């Protein structure tokens, strides 16, 4: 089992550009959540996808958008990049939003985004 995989591992972008990050969930998981982790901080919830729809969203601007595909993989898109978007972006997968929590969320290794 490959676990949660994210790509790319590192990325450098220029202010104003757009970026797409990718996540493949752990086998058997159908729910993907994205988090932003700034240096020295805990992860902050961006949004969650289940059944190809955004189910919940944290306090992030519309520049942050996402998508989930029929195979449960997901993308995070960030438009009009700002310097403050530099962070580790983590993807977590789990099973069945709305149900009682029965399995821990598994995190991918993350994508380190640097905006210059």
Partner 1 sequence: GQNIDQPTEMTATEGAIVQINCTYQTSGFNGLFWYQQHAGEAPTFLSYNVLDGLEEKGRFSSFLSRSKGYSYLLLKELQMKDSASYLCAVVRGGSQGNLIFGKGTKLSVKP
**Interface residue list for partner 1 (CB under 8 A):** 4, 31-33, 35, 40-45, 48, 55-56, 58, 90, 92-101, 104-110, 112
Report the DSSP beta bridge partners of residue 90. 35
The pairing of beta strand 10-13 with beta strand 31-37: unpaired
Q: How far is the CB of 16 from partner 1 (least distance, A)?
A: 27
For residues 32 and 78, which CB has a smaller minimum distance to partner 1 in the complex? 32
For residues 71 and 99, which CB has a smaller minimum distance to partner 1 in the complex? 99
For residues 13 and 55, which CB has a smaller minimum distance to partner 1 in the complex? 55
Q: How far is the CB of 112 from partner 1 (least distance, A)?
A: 8
Q: How far is the CB of 40 from partner 1 (least distance, A)?
A: 7
Which contacts (CB < 8 Å, 24+ apart) does range 44-50 have? Answer: 46/76, 48/97, 49/74, 50/96, 50/97, 50/98
Residue written as tokens 């996808």? 49
Structure tokens at 93: 């997968």
Q: How far is the CB of 109 from partner 1 (least distance, A)?
A: 5
Q: Which of 112, 105, 114 is nearest to 25 (CA)?
A: 105
């Amino acid at each position: 089992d490959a676990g949660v995989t994210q790509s790319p591992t590192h990325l450098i972008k220029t202010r104003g550009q757009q970026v797409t990050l990718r996540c493949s969930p752990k086998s058997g998981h159908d729910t993907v959540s994205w988090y932003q982790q700034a240096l020295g901080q805990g992860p902050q919830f961006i949004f969650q996808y289940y059944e190809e729809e955004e189910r919940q969203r944290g306090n992030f601007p519309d520049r942050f958008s996402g998508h989930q595909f029929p195979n449960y993989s997901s993308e995070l898109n960030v438009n009009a990049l700002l310097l403050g978007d530099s962070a580790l972006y983590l993807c977590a997968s789990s099973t069945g939003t709305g149900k009682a929590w029965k399995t821990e969320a598994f995190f991918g290794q993350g994508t380190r985004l640097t905006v210059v």
